[in-house]
Structure 1
Amino acid sequence: MALLTLRNIGLAFGGPPLFNGIDLQIEPGDRLCLLGRNGTGKSTLLKLVSGELGPEQGEVVRQQGLRVALVSQEVPPGVGGSVFDVVASGMGNAAELLAEYHHVAHKLALEGGSELLQRLENLQHELEATGGWHLHQAVNQVLDRLQLDADADFFSLSGGTKRRALLARALVAEPDILVLDEPTNHLDIETILWLEEFLLRQVKTLLFVTHDRAFARKLANRVAELDRGRLYAFSCGYDAFVERREELLAAEVTRQALFDKKLAQEEAWVRQGIKARRTRNEGRVRALKKMREEHRQRRERLGTARIQLQEAERSGGLVAEAQGISFSYEGRPIIKDFSTTIMRGDRIGIIGPNGSGKTTLLRLLLGELEPQAGQIKLGSRREVLYFDQMREQLDLNKSVQDNVGEGNDTLIINGVSRHIIGYLQDFLFSPERARSPVSILSGGERNRLLLAKLFTKPSNVLVMDEPTNDLDVETLDLLEELLLDYSGTLLLVSHDRDFLNNVVTSTLAVGKNGQVREFVGGYDDWLRQTGDEEAAVKVQSQPAQEKIRPQKERARKLSFKEERELESLPDTIARLEQEQEKLHTTLGDPDFYKSAGAEIAAINARLESLELELAEAYRRWEELDSLKG
């Protein structure tokens, strides 16, 4: 039985429909990734699921006693106190009692005293009487699991640690559905990897919005996309969804082209005059009116941003050279004895845990910060643009137009005069949105605005500190293409593994104690090279007999039965994949959900079984094929 069902949901907020009759079911075990362009209503849909909002049309059917916990993008107003207070607040009515018990126990440990001891005993009795003692243990277990300091002040935490505390608050409520809105924002790669494994092990049913393609690929077993007020759900992983969505969009373009051709023919016919007014043609005229209305109500897919970079004259061949540089802060080494040479055209990724010194390394390489040891040599004719992840270059009180134009109505872009409104439309800001204050923009819109502001100026060195936060997948793809075509030098700090893989040609990994190491390639290349190093160390420490054992295993011959099994496996895999594709096609049809009923659960169950059967078939095929070789 579905945990939650959305039926014919409509929502408009007084303007064009945000949702136009959407349907969705969330079953136990679903890990549903919700995708869509910026502004299509993803966060609003999450609030509908969590109960924070109600629909203007349709109904939300919840299983009796259903518990849903939402972790939003931004820290909710009014959240404060110690980490324990914040996490315990997820317990509802027991939160105040739990918080007081924790604070009294902490104060007693520091100061002692009979009054505190008596108060602690009274609180313990109250907790036992209300069942709150079990809840206190649950809070402590979640704090330990998420490696949080219970007594730390919430306001003093980094953005990533705040997100972890809010996740802990959601988890202590033991929700039936955990809802996450952009959970990887402001997290470093190490924490994202931890979060992926944690969610896979500890959370059964999950609904999440993300721009991180690797995160979606790892977690999702279902994908839904919001597009022009409708919701399209697919029972498949992220990569399969991308392929099927492209097929559906291509089919839509073909259908609309045929429709428009037919409409043009009918319009030409009706303009012939008297023949269209004859009685026997009234039906054709009515059909034409219906086609006109259908065309008028058509919601076109959101356009693609037309982002352009202005390139300055080429910099010198040398951009920056570091020789044995070091930098410490309050006695803690941030960068230690690091040397590198950056040449014109290099595309360098910088990775490392939050607080490890990535931004400090950037500032050293740009000459904005003097090293405390070693030397920095800067190249000539550098024109630097800096994308700041905190978006401090934006004035929230000014309009979008004023932030970019700085009081001017026109801009010179690649030698051509452009009106500011037209330029902003290239970045998907409508004229109305261009006149709005920046304070009302979403996170993705603010990132696009910062790109628009920066790209009004020419550059030959582009520095981007976490540029991918909140950007939708289409804009990410476009930005990747733009950076690949950029002939200048790129320094990129990012936690987006796919973005790094697709854009950079070398990687600087900032580690503990100020160590910085340089690797060829992107994130996966760094991962493979560090893995190879660890594997080499393990092999060198193994006895000689253990080292040669795999060669002996590979030398074994296939039995007659195994040879027949190997021959039959390709046909088995093809049959399973055909069945899987047929079921995906069924679930991808919106009309199917209008009358499917219990059949939906049966198909989802069969798909899960097929995934396991396919995985086992591929594993067995690889095993037998390696023995054959």
Structure 2
Amino acid sequence: MLLLLDGVSLRYGAQILADNVSAKIERGDRICLVGRNGEGKSSLLRLIAGRVDPDAGEVVRASGLVMATLEQELPADCPDSVYQYVAEGLGPIGQVLAGYRDTPSAELQAKIEAGHGWDLLPRVDSVLDRLGLDPEESVADLSGGWQRRAALARALVTEPDLLILDEPTNHLDIAAVEWLEGFLDTYRGALLFVSHDRALAQRLSRTVWDLDRGYLRVFRCQFERYQEEKEKLLEEEARNEALFDKKLAQEETWIRQGIKARRTRNEGRVRALQGLRRQREARRTQQGIARMSLDSGEVSGKLVAELSNVSFAYPNEAPLIRDLSFTLMRGDKVGLIGPNGVGKSTLIRVLLGDLEPQSGQVRLGTKQQVAYFDQRRDQLNPELTVLDNVGQGRDSVTVGGKSRHIMSYLSDFLFTGLKARTKVGALSGGERNRALLAKLFSQPANILVLDEPTNDLDVETLELLEKLLLDFSGTVLLVSHDRAFLDNVVDSCLAFEGQGCIREYVGGYADFIRQGGSFEQESKEEKLSESKGKPKPAEAESPQVKKKKLSYKLQRELDGLPALIEQLEGEVNAIETEMADPAFYQQEQARMQERLNLLADKQSQLEVAFDRWSELEGGDE
């Protein structure tokens, strides 16, 4: 065991972030921590990393445990060289090593020898080599994806037993996200991470920690299975709360009956009613789900934009768009995909008529009303409140032809009371994104331009936004590096394949890959990975490869797996049937958690059995 949370509680003001939380991290664990925006995920990570202390309970760490954290924020303004930045992950001795590398001296040599620094020197060189980083480059000059690599190298140089990652894919392009995902998939230490990227969560996680209203539930399964189980739990909770509220209402009616009833009432029943009232007061209601709606405004012309042999380049720079012909029609939902800096925003400006191409023709449609979601959130004034940013002095907004009071409208985006009057600069990343969506959707539009709208949003809000865009009758231009979001929303993709070449692919990102699409940056990084000796993702076995014959021992194991799988499926079904009974949620919390843990354990064993069956059936051993 690496780490144990033993009855840990943590508060922030009046908000309960963790209430008597108990969980453990073992060697090799891959844990995805999930929860709504503002539930306290980052605070729990800081607690585990030892940066804050619990208000109650204890965090027990294994002797000699080495932890490292990959922060959300990139080291954008760091003036150091990559070598200095990475070496400083080792602490003071790393600074000395970096200084000696730049300017050797007897004094620094003595400090290195006293701190056994020569033993650490190969670590720095090794991790730089593995991640393909140039030690001489300035960190400030790196792109976002390479800054993320440098930050990862700084964490890995300590050779951590537990690597903690907080939204590691934010602001990375698809190529960088896929590289990071592949690297972490081969990482041998324990992982604990928070991510809104559902594709990454599904690939990397083997266990899910669900933080909900201060309670932490452990699901020993992959992310998609967790989502199914969590939905069942919430449905059952809603049913039980409805039954409880009905009983409370009946007892309240009884206590308020006439004089005769009050004279003869049962004192035990009165005490029971008082207990019900206390239970209801103590209930922690789940944070509401945003109720967004879009006003598609006046119907635009059938044609939105038609590009014929269009090329564009900024002065003294290589072409961003080369000989592109493309037609955008009303109702199209198009994803723009490619590495950062290839010209996605430029193409949007050309499509909307804001930029004139150097060659080719652009024909624009009529009656266009454009709403633009900027990933830099420049449309929000951080010094003004959410109310002032969205309302702009108005008491009401018109959505879908109906007038709404501004406070009522903001409550749809989970900004009520004090939160609506909070300055935008004090909001979390997910809350700022919701505020920008509220401002964007308060105006009629038949063309939506969304530049990285998914950063920092929790899964529930992401799924709601997906549904909203699918139901939107207007045109959508979506720049996103969230592969699942693209797959669920867009009808086609414009892929920036390098050197100004832009090609349209039908479907989402998975369809782009299936049709053989790739980015120039990916092929360059593939060569880099081969030259540096980095591990490459396992490729699918060729159908011509002959299946190996299993040994007697392995064949016996394979023969016994169907019965084991059937037994485990029966045990899982039995516990799920038990959970479907409303009485399940009336028992003590400890007993209920014990059964939930058993279910998670059986589901994990079932997953392992299925994986082993597939492995042996394929003759892999």
The answer (yes or no) to whether the contact 1:276–1:285 under 8 Å persists in 2 is no
1:82 aligns with 2:74: no
| CA–CA separation in structure 2 for the residues paired with 1:454 and 1:239 | 31
User: Aligned pair in 2 of structure 1 residues 299, 77: CA closer, same or farther (>3 Å)?
Assistant: farther
Shift of 1:130: 2.9
Change (3 A) 1:374 1:127: farther
Q: Please state if 1:334 is matched with 2:320.
A: yes
Give the 3 Å change call, closer, same or farther, for CA 582–51 of structure 1 in structure 2: farther
Whole-angstrom CA distance in 2 between matches of 1:408 and 1:242: 40
- For residue 356 of structure 1, give the secondary structure of its aligned residue in structure 2: coil
**Secondary structure in 1 aligned to 2:236?**
helix
Paired residue type of 2:90: M
Greater helix proportion: 1
* C-alpha distance 53-463 of structure 1, shift in aligned 2 (>3 A): same
Distance 1:3 1:550 in 2: 41
Do the aligned partners of residues 370 and 280 (structure 1) sit closer, same or farther apart at CA in structure 2, a change above 3 Å counting? closer
Residue 538 of structure 1 is matched in structure 2 by none
> Counterpart of 2:607 in structure 1: which amino acid?
E
* Distance in 2 separating the partners of 1:577 and 1:339: 54
Corresponding position of 1:219? 204
Question: How has the CA–CA distance of structure 1 residues 568 and 291 changed in structure 2, closer, same or farther, with 3 Å as cutoff?
Answer: same
Aligned-residue sequence identity (percent) comes to 52
Q: Partners of 1:565 and 1:13 in 2: how far apart?
A: 52
| CA–CA separation in structure 2 for the residues paired with 1:352 and 1:217 | 22
Contact kept? 1:507, 1:526, Cα under 8 Å: yes
Could you tell me which residue of structure 2 aligns to residue 150 of structure 1?
Answer: 135
Q: 2:147 aligns with which of 162, 168, 171?
A: 162
262, 266, 280: which one pairs with 2:251? Answer: 266
**RMSD across aligned C-alpha pairs, in angstroms?**
3.3
1:347 paired residue among 315, 328, 333? 333
Q: Is the 8 A contact 2:219 2:600 kept in 1?
A: no
Moved more, 129-138 or 377-386: 129-138
Once the two structures are TM-superposed, the CA of residue 14 in structure 1 deviates from its matched residue by 2.5
Query: What is the distance in 2 between the residues matched to 1:77 and 1:160?
Result: 11
TM-score scaled to structure 1, two decimals?
0.85
Map residues 472-511 of structure 1 onto 2, 5 A cutoff.
Answer: 472-511=458-497
Secondary structure (helix, strand or coil) at the match of 1:320 reads strand
Shift of 1:503: 0.6
Contact 1:82 1:151 in 2 (8 A): yes
Note if contact 1:583-1:607 (Cα within 8 Å) is conserved in structure 2: no
Aligned pairs for 1:134-283 (under 5 A) are: 134-272=119-257, 281-283=266-268
Contact 1:424–1:434 under 8 Å retained in 2: yes
User: Could you tell me how far 1:122 is from its partner in structure 2?
Assistant: 6.1
1:26 paired residue number = 25
What's 1:612 paired with?
608
Distance (whole Å) between structure 2 residues aligned to residue 488 and residue 427 of structure 1: 22
- What letter is aligned with 2:491? T
Alignment partner of 1:578 out of 570, 575, 598: 570
Deviation larger for 192-201 or 41-50: 192-201
1:551 & 1:207 partners in 2: Cα distance? 39
CA distance in 2, matches of 1:479, 1:48: 32
The one-letter amino acid of 2:566's match is: A
Q: CA deviation at 1:101?
A: 2.3
SS of residue matched to 1:300: coil
Q: Is the 8 A contact 2:221 2:604 kept in 1?
A: no
Report Cα offsets for 1:297-342 as digits up to 9, x if no partner: 1111111111111112111111111122222344323222221111
Helix, strand or coil for the counterpart of 1:431?
coil
**1:329-373: CA deviations, max 9, x gaps?**
443232222211111111111111122222222222222222222
Relative distance call for 1:249 and 1:399 in structure 2 (3 A) is same
Q: Is the 8 A contact 1:468 1:496 kept in 2?
A: yes
Match for 2:471: what amino acid?
A: D
Aligned amino acid, residue 16 of structure 1: Q
Q: Which amino acid aligns with 2:293?
A: Q
Query: Counterpart of 2:411?
Result: 425
Q: Tell me which of 482, 501, 525 is aligned to 1:515.
A: 501
Q: Which moved more, 1:278-287 or 1:416-425?
A: 278-287
Show CA shifts across 1:591-620 (max 9, x none). 259889xx98x9988866643331232466
- Where 2:232 maps in the other structure, the secondary structure is helix
Pairwise CA distance, 1:267:
1.4
Q: Secondary structure at the match of 1:490?
A: strand
Cross-structure match for 1:132: 117
Contact 2:2 2:62 in 1 (8 A): yes
3-state SS of 2:478 partner: strand
- Taking the aligned partners of 1:242 and 1:407, their CA distance within structure 2 comes to 41
Q: Using the alignment, how far apart are the partners of 2:125 and 2:324 within structure 1? A: 41
Q: Is the 8 A contact 2:160 2:189 kept in 1?
A: no
Pairs aligned (count): 582
Give, in angstroms, the shift of residue 76 of structure 1.
7.2
Give the TM-score of the pair, scaled to structure 2.
0.86
Change (3 A) 1:605 1:385: closer
Structure 2 CA distance, aligned partners of 1:138 and 1:284? 70
State whether residues 569 and 621 of structure 1, in contact with CA within 8 Å, keep that contact through their aligned partners in structure 2: no
Change in 2 beyond 3 A, CA 1:128/1:71: same
Q: Does 1:8 align with 2:7?
A: yes
Offset at 1:415? 2.4
The secondary structure found in structure 2 opposite 1:333 is: coil
| Per-residue deviation, 1:145 | 2.0
Once the two structures are superposed, residues 396-429 of structure 1 have per-residue CA deviations (whole angstroms, 9 ceiling, x without a partner) of: 1111111111122222222222222211111011
Q: Which residue of 2 aligns with 1:37?
A: 36
**1:294 corresponds to 2:292:** no
Structure 1 residue aligned with 2:550: none
Tell me what 1:307 maps to.
292
Q: Which residue of 1 aligns with 2:93?
A: 94
Letter in 1 for 2:319: P
